[in-house]
Chain A
Amino acid sequence: MQITSHTFKANTVKALADVDLQRALGNVERGFIGKRQKAVDALPEFDALRDKAVEIKNHTLKHLDLYIEAYVAKVEASGGKVHFAEDADHARRIFLDIAKRRKAKTVTKGKTMISEEIGLNAFLEENGITPVETDLGEYIIQLRGEHPSHIIAPAVHINRDQVEADFRKFHVDLDPERDLTEPVTLLSEARQILRKKYGEADIGVTGANFLIAETGTSVIVTNEGNGDLTQLLGKCHVVLASLEKIVPTLEDTAQILRVLARSATGQDMSVYTTLSTGPKRAEDPDGPEEYHVILLDNGRSNMLGTEFEEMLRCIRCGACMNHCPVYHAVGGHSYGWVYPGPMGAVLTPSLIGVDKAGHLPNASTFCGRCESVCPMRIPLPKMMRHWREKEFESHLQPQSQRAGLDVWAFFARRPKLYRAAVSFGMPMLKLLAGPKRRFRKLPLAGGWTKWRDLPAPEGRTFMQAYAQSGHAASADATGGER
């Protein structure tokens, strides 16, 4: 897909003015936050399970090479095959090899973010293979020629009436007079159309929430059952997964499952948690003839041992974006690539480069809600700060911003001079503002005053006010002022 992370600011301006999008985004707060809290409150062990989940992932990452080797051996023992893919292009070529050998014409797909990461759909179409998304949300956005705006609710940016309009436009074989006002009628229509597709598919593609080293098993967690039908009825099952999905054992999977669904949708368990191990067995009446796993690196092994390693604990629950005020305001597409919200702000620069995605770690109020709800306790704000530092070190910000920071740093390193300057500046600004006590325009503050007035300082600095209130001694101890 076309990366637009570098035009993040322009994307957000467009998003804020998009009436349909703003209407739809209201559902994020309504649909996720309360449900998660209720599920968390009902499980006294939730925080202890988070700690355990962190411990499991940290242990796995420290021994990832060995667990991958163990996993591959078990997959092969069960008759499946694991293909290592260095990057997106490599993963696509591996997929095409399998598809060509199977003479594949149609590929059904369960929800997979790795497919988005490697741009699989567009690539398949270029090669004359038809991809069919079967997750309801993914199906809707495929019809619209869009990409997911959320990692677990791909069509969260779309309203019911828009879906109705799309279904009328694309499902031309159906009665144009049919009643589609109830959401359930839309669901039934998609169900009916996709039903026929599963069995016709030459390949069924799914992602994986976990890859279990102990047994060589891939795990998908879904509510609709589409991923299950995709992997069950396609003649060949291809799993797209990235390296960090590996967990050691079944028991470890059970631990992380307990925090996954609660953090994502506020369910104790998602409806379907399905463990797949290899292709159809001799005695099996159903199942795929072939089972492949494309194991994607795409920059992840380079995150190990760096300040971004902890990001590899992410289990893609979406809690961080569900609780993010920036995501609530601008939606997922503004982030300009596959992964939106706080997790995207950290992961995207790692995968496509901070030169292209430097705006994303800046798109944060640092309110810290993302970290507080992250089931894997990933320090997202801290990592966004790391990216900001890297962005500065690589001289990627505009000259004006760097010059401003230099000026500020000059004063900040000289507290006496700083105090003298603000002691002079504050009364001056008060004077300049006049009786209205606010600025409608101010040089160097155009970004603010374009949208709203800037309140004028009241004349005293914080330090002066603080000293006068009788806290002089402790004020000195704080060392500086802002």
Chain B
Amino acid sequence: MSGSTRDAVLNRIRRANGARPGDPERAKVVAERLGTAPRGIVPKRGQLPQEERVRLFLDMAEKANATVARVADYAELPEAVATFLREKNLPAELKLGADPRFADLDFSQTALSVTHGASDGDDLAALSHAMGGIAETGTLMLTSGPDNPTSLNFLPEYHVVAVAAEDVAGDMETLLAKLRETFGKGGMPRSVNFVTGPSRSADIEQTLLLGAHGPRSLHIVVVG
């Protein structure tokens, strides 16, 4: 059924476009676009030197209602996370994935008790590592997998995300190139999550409310 529908639909499209099946010229145009994936217009806003770029990233993230912090290196990350939870009056419990950048973190200096893996919905707070940040919009890019389970991005009420300063790019295109580099051309992890601030809804009288179905609070820690 679906196979014949597929042919019928594709034939109608071809006819409407006045195209012959198997026209090598059209195939070439499409293969070229898919192959080269040309960049379009990249706004100037994020095109800044490293330090200013990180500052813009933090500003834009705050505009999107995220809270932000910055630490010099990974050794300071556990304390930064503990401080955030303490200031929010939250239990000192944290869920995180198997990201190698977290492997050497020493949580023993903090009061935090740490568990690993995906979230079953009962975790109040989670820590993830982003693959990168986008200064233009204050957006994080996270990828699925055992290192950073996608459920940690959505189920806990408080989400802390670490991102390396050197991974804060000016624009989305730079991170897309990085995805290609990591997963191969045309390859993708199961899920790529671009996250800009904590979840929200304006469905009741167009009044903005934070904390819809995803985290009520997003805390970004830039490392470096």
Smallest CB separation, B187 vs chain A (Å):
7
Determine the distance from Cα of A64 to Cα of B11 in the docked complex, in whole angstroms.
Answer: 11
A199-B121, A224-B213, A229-B214 given as contacts; is B192 within 8 A of A274 (CB)? yes
A268-B137, A269-B139, A274-B192 given as contacts; is B41 within 8 A of A86 (CB)? no
Give the residues from 122 to 169 in chain B that come closer than 8 angstroms, CB to CB, to chain A.
136-139, 144-146, 149-151, 153-155
The residues of B that contact A284 with a CB separation of less than 8 Å are 144-146, 149, 190
The residues of B that contact A213 with a CB separation of less than 8 Å are 34
Give the residues from 50 to 65 in chain B that come closer than 8 angstroms, CB to CB, to chain A.
60, 64
A65-B19, A85-B5 given as contacts; is B212 within 8 A of A214 (CB)? no
B70-78, B86-94, B107-115, B195-203: which lies at the interface: B195-203
Smallest CB separation, A304 vs chain B (Å):
4
A86-B5, A301-B9 given as contacts; is B187 within 8 A of A251 (CB)? no
Smallest CB separation, B4 vs chain A (Å):
9
The residues of B that contact A72 with a CB separation of less than 8 Å are 6
Chain B interface, DSSP helix/strand/loop, else mixed: loop
Determine the distance from Cα of A68 to Cα of B203 in the docked complex, in whole angstroms.
Answer: 34
- Cβ A265 vs Cβ B202 within 8 A: yes
Determine the distance from Cα of A218 to Cα of B148 in the docked complex, in whole angstroms.
Answer: 20
- Cβ A304 vs Cβ B17 within 8 A: yes
- Cβ A135 vs Cβ B155 within 8 A: no
Smallest CB separation, A379 vs chain B (Å):
19
Q: Does B194 contact A (CB under 8 A)?
A: yes
Identify A155's interface contact among B33, B34, B203, CB under 8 A.
Answer: B203
Q: Does A131 contact B (CB under 8 A)?
A: no
A181-189, A402-410, A443-451: which lies at the interface: A181-189
Identify A257's interface contact among B150, B172, B191, B195, CB under 8 A.
Answer: B172
The residues of A that contact B27 with a CB separation of less than 8 Å are 66
The residues of A that contact B19 with a CB separation of less than 8 Å are 65
Q: Does A209 contact B (CB under 8 A)?
A: no
Contact with A along B28-40 (1 / 0, CB 8 A): 0110011001111
Q: Does A22 contact B (CB under 8 A)?
A: no
The residues of A that contact B193 with a CB separation of less than 8 Å are 228, 272-275
Determine the distance from Cα of A51 to Cα of B45 in the docked complex, in whole angstroms.
Answer: 19
Q: Does B105 contact A (CB under 8 A)?
A: no
- Cβ B17 vs Cβ A62 within 8 A: yes
- Cβ A287 vs Cβ B203 within 8 A: no
Determine the distance from Cα of A64 to Cα of B30 in the docked complex, in whole angstroms.
Answer: 10
Smallest CB separation, A151 vs chain B (Å):
13
Query: Which residue of B is nearest A68, CB measured?
Result: B10
Smallest CB separation, B16 vs chain A (Å):
4
A56-B40, A258-B43, A285-B117 given as contacts; is B9 within 8 A of A84 (CB)? yes
The residues of B that contact A301 with a CB separation of less than 8 Å are 9, 12-13, 16
Given contacts A24-B205, A74-B186, A225-B212, 5 further A-B contacts (CB under 8 A): A28-B206, A184-B209, A225-B213, A285-B118, A286-B150
Across the A-B interface, the 3 shortest Cβ-Cβ residue pairs: A225-B214, A31-B206, A224-B212
Chain B residues with CB under 8 Å of chain A are 1-2, 5-6, 8-10, 12-19, 26-27, 29-30, 33-34, 37-41, 43-45, 60, 64, 97, 117-118, 121, 136-139, 144-146, 149-151, 153-155, 171-173, 176, 179-180, 186-207, 209, 211-215
* Subset of 26 A-B contacts with CB under 8 Å: A28-B206, A43-B45, A61-B17, A68-B9, A74-B186, A86-B9, A90-B1, A94-B2, A184-B209, A195-B121, A213-B34, A224-B199, A225-B212, A228-B154, A232-B191, A233-B151, A257-B172, A265-B202, A267-B196, A271-B195, A274-B192, A276-B190, A277-B190, A284-B146, A301-B12, A305-B17
